Amino acid sequence: MLSAERIRIRMKVVGADGLPVGTVDRIEGDNRIRLMRADSPDDRDHAIPLNWVDHVDAHIHLSLTAGEAQQRWETVL
């Protein structure tokens, strides 16, 4: 699993297809990225597991497409 040390607040998260998924709000624990609600298509909080991250450069790149990530992300209450 990728270390969360390279991930920063406000980094953009993109799918394997290059489409946007969201923006990092914070890292929760050692295995989950919480996304900013402002980027959410349904105005709800969402989180994705770190094991979806393929690599990190200027952005966080997922191993799933943006659509797959949005279908599988966790809605946080």
Phi and psi (nearest 5°) for 71? -75, -30
Q: Give the number of other Cβ atoms within 10 Å of residue 52's Cβ.
A: 21
pLDDT in tens, 56-72: 999 999 999 999 999 99
* Range with the poorest average pLDDT among 12-16, 26-30, 71-75: 26-30
59 secondary structure, DSSP code: S
The pTM of the full predicted model, rounded to 2 decimals, is 0.92
